[in-house]
Structure 1
Amino acid sequence: MLLTYRALKRRANAKKLEIRTPNGIDEASYVRIGGIDQWISIRGEDRSNPVILELHGGPGASNLIFIPRTRAWEQHFTIVRWDMRGAGRTFAGTGPEGQAEMTLDRLYADALEVTAHIRARLGVDKVLLVANSFGSVTGLRLARNHPELYSAYVGTDQNIIGGSRDSSAYEALLARLEKAGKKKERAKVAAMGPDRAAWTAEQWSLYAKTVVTTDPLTYDTMKTVVIRSLWFSPLHTLRDLRAYLKGMTFSEQLGPQAMTIDEYAEGTAFRLPFFLFQGDSDVLTPPEPAQRYYEAVTAPVKDFALIRNASHFASFRHPDQFLDLMLTKVRPVVTGEAVGR
């Protein structure tokens, strides 16, 4: 019965994803990036729309599963969804042995190659960079260093690591565990200490999973948005789903690398429009550190907004709110058109 229901939902989602407009695009294939074959999907109803390059989170969590939820975005933007090395179909293609170098520097270089590929394939001068969660670590660096390639930067579930100076999210987790009477879990988190730069990959993973499962809204989002999107994705077989989850586990090695970053030291000057859209109730990447960083940023145009009633995965829990922000704040800036759908 469960598999039958899944099949029906996947069929309905597949129909929802059909692009029939005369100037639309729907293509996906492996492209040679950074010495390995990496999966790139390009979808949109009108090729004349602004082109978005999505940098997914995780690490290792491809955004392909969310396409049915974000289908309306493709009416207004051409969206490039790239499975980074270690993630999704890129990981599934050759397995762990085929991913080669797994470092943030390598992901950064890959992103520049993907950007060059998109500009050539779609014939555009600049692309709109939209980064969520772990992808926002690389996203900030790209936006800061390459305003000639990107028309604007949009961060959501924005990570602000800040050299581990801000331990408020860590302290809040300890408080939730204390209140829930989960002494064993609290002891494990307390033993890790607040300095994220000193955590191992296993500790980084434990922290993230504990945050997700101890906050009701985040846990509900994980079940109703993330897991359901995985289970009902028309683009993923059961074998694909297993590879997806294995890729996330494999990519956890990137977590501790990111924890050494200090975004303030790397710079707060951006020479392109800069936007942060954060879940108002996000406990994994809280809005307060993101807003403090935003306040320090200098940019030609900048804006900050909260996505209401949203935990982590804010843009996927409330894709309509996120689209409204993109259409009223971002698209007019990158196109010069008037505000409105």
Structure 2
Amino acid sequence: MLGTVIAASAATVLAAPAAGLLGYRQLKRAANAKLLRIATPGGIDESGFIRVGGIDQWVSIRGEDRRNPVILEIHGGPGAANSIYLPRTRAWERHFTIARWDMRGGGRTFGHGGPEGQGEMTFERILQDALEVTEHVRARMGVEKVLLVANSFGTVFGLRLARSHPELYSAYVGTDQNIIAGGRDRSAYHALVHRLRAAGKRKELDAVTAMGPDAARWTARQWTEYHKLVVVSDPLTYDTMKTVVIRSLWFSPLHRLGELRRYLKGMDFSERLAPQTVAFDEWADGTDFRLPFFVFQGEHDVMTPPEPAKRFFDDVSAPVKDFAVIRDASHFASFRHPDRFLDLMLTKVRPVVTGEPALVR
């Protein structure tokens, strides 16, 4: 959903970067690389390809203390691997060991195999991949359960993993939580229409009203146009795209320029997954979760609004559950305010999965 939007936003700096900009980028990348070093005696920093679902897929595991709870991240996009945010989320690794997986179609997995090497690009295939990666992480870290943390489009996978496999996960945490209601909830569409009308954007408004509110009827081009307009029509979302997402891409110490281009191509390639989920219905699939259940949502998220997430959360039955709003945040809430997200993880989630008192940073 976001691949074309991010690619368009990043096109200028990737096309012909000035020498001065490249020099500044090198300085920032070097500083970020230094920040990412893990030198603690009990730490772990390993990455590489493992065989998952018949193809090589990239998994990294990082943390300052192997005794900390182990997180498996399920990234969004589709195809938007979370590796670009490592410098922003470095503090998380002091309190958690984090396994980050570049799912098929995204990140280094896409870069390694290219479009022809991604195999079956279906939602169900990637859901099975996630279970294989879960088993790999459990075995590698020697833990019975891992903490499942999903963001944005990854939360569509996350809900299904948490709902069906409580034996594998100590808790579920969704942020930028996506709630699909079988086409019944069209509030985000109507909110976009309202913003465009209020801003006097008649051309854009005509395009959106021509699409209609039924996403199942949209063409691939309309899907892209819709999400582009959602981003650019909301000042906070657009600012987050520029200052958080694009800056994280540009200054990532793990990605050379060519790798950044492949990263963006992976998101574009993976957009075929989104229409496969249009008919999903989270309520029909079930609101009974047999594990602790948390949702931490951006206060002003216009892409995955907090109101549908809260309605679903209110209907969830779980041993422990909690909902929190991250203030002054849109989509990408955990990456815009990684300190606030970490505080929620330390005060609400970590005590539940460890049985220990809440930690203070």
Q: TM-score, normalised by structure 2?
A: 0.94
Structure 2 residue 281 is matched with structure 1 residue 281: no
Match of 1:2 among 13, 21, 41: 21
Contact 1:27 1:42 in 2 (8 A): yes
Match of 2:76 among 57, 68, 92: 57
Three-state SS of the structure 1 residue aligned to 2:73 is: strand
Tell me, which stretches of 5 or more residues in structure 1 are unaligned? Answer: none
Three-state SS of the structure 2 residue aligned to 1:278 is: strand
Please state how far the C-alpha of 1:161 moved relative to its aligned partner: 1.2
Contact 1:92 1:244 in 2 (8 A): yes
Q: How does 1:123-202 map to 2 (within 5 A)?
A: 123-202=142-221
Contact 1:92 1:240 in 2 (8 A): yes
User: Which letter maps to 1:75?
Assistant: R
Structure 2 residue 339 is matched with structure 1 residue 302: no
Q: How does 1:1-341 map to 2 (within 5 A)?
A: 1-341=20-360
Three-state SS of the structure 2 residue aligned to 1:162 is: coil
Three-state SS of the structure 2 residue aligned to 1:54 is: strand
Please state how far the C-alpha of 1:8 moved relative to its aligned partner: 0.1
Contact 1:201 1:255 in 2 (8 A): no
Please state how far the C-alpha of 1:152 moved relative to its aligned partner: 0.2
Find runs of 4+ consecutive structure 1 residues off by over 3 angstroms. Answer: none
Three-state SS of the structure 2 residue aligned to 1:111 is: helix
User: Which letter maps to 1:11?
Assistant: A
Please state how far the C-alpha of 1:202 moved relative to its aligned partner: 2.4
Please state how far the C-alpha of 1:199 moved relative to its aligned partner: 2.3
Q: Hey, what's the Cα distance between the residues in 1 that align with 2:81 and 2:300? A: 23
Please state how far the C-alpha of 1:158 moved relative to its aligned partner: 0.2
Three-state SS of the structure 1 residue aligned to 2:182 is: helix
- 1:159-209 per-position Cα deviation (integer Å, ceiling 9, x unaligned): 001111111110010111112222121111111111122223322222111
Q: Hey, what's the Cα distance between the residues in 1 that align with 2:309 and 2:219? A: 24
Contact 1:131 1:156 in 2 (8 A): yes
- 1:83-131 per-position Cα deviation (integer Å, ceiling 9, x unaligned): 0000010000011000011111011000000001001111110000000
Three-state SS of the structure 2 residue aligned to 1:177 is: helix
Q: Hey, what's the Cα distance between the residues in 2 that align with 1:241 and 1:76? A: 29
Q: Out of 170-179 and 62-71, give the one that drifted further.
A: 170-179
User: Which letter maps to 1:99?
Assistant: Q
Q: Out of 201-210 and 40-49, give the one that drifted further.
A: 201-210
Three-state SS of the structure 2 residue aligned to 1:275 is: strand
User: Which letter maps to 2:226?
Assistant: Y
Contact 1:270 1:298 in 2 (8 A): yes
- 1:273-318 per-position Cα deviation (integer Å, ceiling 9, x unaligned): 0000000000000000000000000000000000010000000000
User: Which letter maps to 1:326?
Assistant: M
Contact 1:136 1:159 in 2 (8 A): yes
How many correspondences in the alignment? 341
Q: Hey, what's the Cα distance between the residues in 2 that align with 1:151 and 1:294? A: 18
- 1:227-284 per-position Cα deviation (integer Å, ceiling 9, x unaligned): 0000000000000100000000000101111221110000000000000000000000
Three-state SS of the structure 1 residue aligned to 2:226 is: helix
Contact 1:108 1:138 in 2 (8 A): yes
Q: TM-score, normalised by structure 1?
A: 0.99
Contact 1:200 1:256 in 2 (8 A): no
User: Which letter maps to 1:173?
Assistant: L
Q: Hey, what's the Cα distance between the residues in 1 that align with 2:201 and 2:47? A: 45
Tell me, which stretches of 5 or more residues in structure 2 are unaligned? Answer: 1-19
Contact 1:279 1:306 in 2 (8 A): yes
Give % identity: 73
Q: Hey, what's the Cα distance between the residues in 1 that align with 2:49 and 2:136? A: 12
